Amino acid sequence: MNIIVPIKQVPDLVEGLEIDDSGKDLNREWMKFKLNEFDDHALEEALILKEETGATVTAIALDSDDVDKALFTAAAKGADTIIKVTGVSGTGLSSHEAAKALANVIGGMSYDLVMTGVQAIDDRDGQLAVLLAHYLDKPHVSVVTSVTVAGDQAVISKEYGGGLVAEFEGTFPMVLGIQAARQSPRYVPVAKVRQIMRSASIEEVAAGDVGVSSGSDITKYFTPVSGGGAEMIGGSAEDQAAKIVELLKSKGIK
Amino acid sequence: MSNQVFVITEHINGQFDDSSFEMLAMGREVASATGGELVAVLMGHNQKDLASQLGAADKVIYADHESLANFNPQAHAKAASAIVAANMPRVVLTAYSSQGMEMGPAISVSQNMPLLAYVSGISVSGGSLTVVSQLYGGKMNVESQTSAGHCVMSVLPGAASADAGRKDGAPAIDDFAVDLGGLTIKFKQLIEPDKSDVDITQQPILVSVGRGIQNSDNLPMVEELAAKLGGAVSCSRPIVDSKWMPKTRQVGKSGLKVKPKLYLALGISGAPEHIEGMKDAELIIAVNSDPKAPIFDFAHYGVEGDLFDIIPALTGKL
Ligand SMILES: Cc1cc2nc3c(=O)[nH]c(=O)nc-3n(C[C@H](O)[C@H](O)[C@H](O)COP(=O)(O)OP(=O)(O)OC[C@H]3O[C@@H](n4cnc5c(N)ncnc54)[C@H](O)[C@@H]3O)c2cc1C
C-alpha cells in the first residue's frame, strides 16, 4: 500500500502577525514557520498505518520557505520518500493552485491513500484535501479521526459536532482530510533530523501547468475586534486573582 | 447564471444543524441585495417533510436517494454539485462544518466557481461580492473580492442569527432527480458519544484548559481550582487529542456547546472552532500570556498573565 502525505508550512502564530505596507498581505520577511499541525497528524496516522501494514509513506510539499526542514523531519519520523514540488512558490499560494500543482504530481504516481491535514490556518479559498480529491477525480472523506485498513478498503471515522462519529467504508484510492491521528504526533530529536539530512535526499518534481486560480482577489487584511474586547484586569498575579474573586462575588458566583 | 442564492442545508438524525438556519438568515440578506430568490437545498431519503422547517427560503430543491439517507461525502458532494450545475446560482452558501467541508470544495472545482472559506460576512455591490474570512486561528481577517459573478462560500457558525432563519412554512418544493451510481464510499453507522462522564453542558461553572497548560502533569492544579469554585474541568481540542482528558470534556465545534454562568478559559487561544462552543457563556474570563490572543475579543474580562502564577493565586484566595 502506498500513502502520500501532502504537508505544508504555515506561519507560527506564537510570533504574532504583521500586515505589510500594501495592506493586502502579511509581512513575511521575519516570519517564522512551522508545520501545519493537522498535517503533522496526517503524517502520524500514515506512519501508524505503515507500522500496521508495511505501507510505504511519501511526504510531499510545494517549494516554500523552510520546506526542506519539514521534509527532512518527515523522513526522520519514518517517511520512505520525500518530494519537493518545484516551479511554484507554496508560500502564500491559494489552495486551488496548491491543490492543482499537487494533483499534477500525485496524479502520475501510484497510490492508495492521500492523507493531508483537515485544514490550515491560511486556507482562504478552501481546505486542501477535498480540492485535491476533485482535481485528482477521487473520492474523499474529511474530518477523519481514524483509519483502519483491510485489503483494498479502509474503515474511516469522521467526526461531527458533539462527539458524534460516522463510520464509512471506502475502496482505494481515496483522499482523506485528517483531523487527528489516533495518537499524538511523534517527536523526533533535531540530531536525528540532522543525521537524515546527510543520508536522505529530497526528490524534486516540477509542478507543470497549474492553470487555475482562487477566482478572488485579496482587498485587505485587518485585525478582528469581534466581541468588543474584554475589560482587562491588571496588576500582579496576586492582584489579578483578588480582582477575579471580587468579580465572582459581585456576580453572585462565589 | 441566475441571480439565486443557494443554501446547502445539513441534517443528522432528522435534525437540522443551527448553521443551516444561520445560512438562511445570511442568504436572505444577500438575496435582497442581488434581487434574487433564496433557495434551500435539501438532500435525504424519505425526508421531504423536513422542508417544512425551511420556511425562510422562497423555494426548496429536494433530492431524494437511498445513498442520501445518511450523510455520505461522495454522494452528497455529487448531488450538491449536480443541483448547482443545473441552476448556476450567483451565490452558494455551505457551512464550515464536517459536512459542508466535503461539499464546498467539490462544487468549486466541478463548477469552476471561486470558493471562499471561514466566511463571517458578505456584502454585495453591483457585480462584485466582498467577503470577509476569519483566518489564522481568528487572529487576522482577510477581505476578498470576486468579480467572477458567482461564488461558493463556507460560512462560519455564528456569522448570522439562527433564530432569524428558523421559520416553519410550506415553501414550494422542486424535486431533483439525482444519479448516484458507482459510489465507492459507503456509510456504515453513526456512533453516539459517550454519556457516562460529567455532562459539561449542564455545569454552571466550567474551568476550561487549553494547550497553555503544557502537559498533563499540570492538570491537578486546574482540578483543584475547579473544585474550589464548585465547577467542572473542560478543555480545548488539543488536550483531548493528546489524550489528557476525555472527549466528553471538549468544548467547541467538534465538542460540546456550553452556556455556563462562568467560563474560565486558561491558556486557550480562542480559535474560531473553540469560540463556537462557548461564546454564549454568561461570564467569560480568559487568562492568557499573549495580549493578542483572540479569546480576549470574546471574553468579558481578560487577564494577561501566566496561568502558572494565576491558578495558585486564585486557588489560594477561594
Ligand atoms: C474541524 C475542526 C474542528 C475543531 N473543533 C474544535 C473544538 O471542538 N474545540 C477546540 O477547542 N478546538 C477545535 N479545533 C481546533 C482549533 O482549530 C484549535 O487548534 C484549538 O482550539 C487550539 O486550542 P488551544 O487554544 O488550547 O491551543 P493554542 O491555539 O495552541 O493556544 C494556546 C494558548 O495558550 C497560551 N499560553 C501558553 N502558555 C501560557 C501560560 N503559561 N499562561 C497563559 N497562557 C499561555 C498561548 O498564548 C495561546 O494563546 C477544531 C479544528 C478543526 C479543523
SS3 per residue for A212-248: CCCCCEEEEEECCCCCCCCEECCCCHHHHHHHHHHHH
Over residues A206-253, the pLDDT tens digits come to: 999 999 999 999 999 999 875 568 999 999 999 999 999 999 999 999
Determine which residue's CA is closest to atom 38 belonging to ligand 1.
Answer: B212
pTM: 0.96
Closest partner residue to A163 among B110, B131, B255, by Cβ? Answer: B255
Classify A56 as helix, strand or coil. Answer: strand
pLDDT at B2: 87
Query: What is the rounded distance in angstroms from the CA atom of residue A65 to the CA atom of residue A43?
Result: 20
DSSP state of A149: E
Classify A117 as helix, strand or coil. Answer: strand
Query: What is the rounded distance in angstroms from the CA atom of residue A160 to the CA atom of residue B223?
Result: 28
pLDDT at A204 over 70: yes
Radius of gyration, CA atoms only, chain A: 21
pLDDT at A226: 55
Tell me the residues of chain B between 43 and 72 that have a Cβ less than 8 Å away from chain A.
70-72
Ligand 1 pocket, residues with Cβ under 6 angstroms: A 118-119, 143, 179; B 137, 210-212, 236-238, 250-255, 267-269, 271, 273-274, 277, 287-290, 293, 306-308
Over residues B77-95, the pLDDT tens digits come to: 999 999 999 999 999 999 9
Query: What is the rounded distance in angstroms from the CA atom of residue A57 to the CA atom of residue B170?
Result: 53
Distance B269 CA to ligand 1 centre (A): 5
Determine which residue's CA is closest to atom 51 belonging to ligand 1.
Answer: B273
Query: Mean pLDDT throughout A98-110?
Result: 98
| Three-state secondary structure string covering chain B | CCCCEEEECCEECCEECHHHHHHHHHHHHHHHHHCCCEEEEEEECCCHHHHHHECCCCEEEEEECHHHCCCCHHHHHHHHHHHHHHHCCCEEEEECCCCHHHHHHHHHHHCCCCEEEEEEEEEEECCEEEEEEEEHHHCEEEEEEECCCCEEEEECCCCCCHHHHCECCCCEEEEECCCCCCCCEEEEEEECCCCCCCCHHHCCEEEEECHHHCCHHHHHHHHHHHHHHCCEEEECHHHHHCCCCCHHHEECCCCECCCCCEEEEECCCCCHHHHHHHCCCCEEEEEECCCCCCHHHHCCEEEECCHHHHHHHHHHHC
Mean pLDDT score of chain A: 95
Which residues in chain B are closer than 8 Å to A183, comparing Cβ atoms? 243
Query: What is the rounded distance in angstroms from the CA atom of residue A229 to the CA atom of residue B269?
Result: 14
List CB contacts of A17: < 8 A, sequence separation 6 or more: A11, A26, B136, B139, B140
Over residues A135-158, the pLDDT tens digits come to: 999 999 999 999 999 999 999 999
Which residues in chain A are closer than 8 Å to B143, comparing Cβ atoms? 218-222
Over residues B286-310, the pLDDT tens digits come to: 999 999 999 999 999 999 999 999 9
Look up cell 475586534; give the residue. Answer: A225
Position A84: which residue type?
K
Q: How far is B172 from chain A (nearest CA, A)?
A: 30
Q: Where are the beta strands (DSSP E) in A13-139?
A: 33-35, 56-62, 81-86, 113-117
pLDDT at A93: 93
pLDDT at A91 over 90: no
Answer for the pair B45, B162: CB distance below 8 angstroms, yes or no.
Answer: no
- Residue ranges and CATH numbers for the domains of chain A are 2-206 (3.40.50.620)
pLDDT at A224: 83
Look up cell 483494498; give the residue. Answer: A152
ipTM score of complex: 0.95
DSSP state of A175: E
Q: How far is CA A158 from CA B181, B189, B190, in A?
A: 23, 11, 10
Radius of gyration, CA atoms only, chain B: 21
Answer for the pair A54, A248: CB distance below 8 angstroms, yes or no.
Answer: no
Rounded to the nearest 10 degrees, the angle between the axes of helix A237-250 and helix B307-317 is 50
List CB contacts of A161: < 8 A, sequence separation 6 or more: B17, B97, B98, B253, B254, B255, B257
DSSP state of A20: -
Nearest 5 degrees, angle CA B158-CA B25-CA A119?
40
Which residues in chain B are closer than 8 Å to A135, comparing Cβ atoms? 109
Closest partner residue to B302 among A119, A226, A230, by Cβ? Answer: A230
Q: How far is CA A225 from CA A18, A56, B299, in A?
A: 16, 46, 12
What are the residue ranges in chain B where pLDDT is below 70? none
Provide the number of CB pairs (under 8 Å) joining chain A to chain B: 278
pLDDT at A54 over 60: yes
pLDDT at B126: 78
Burial class (CB in 10 A: 0-12, 13-18, 19+), A28: middle
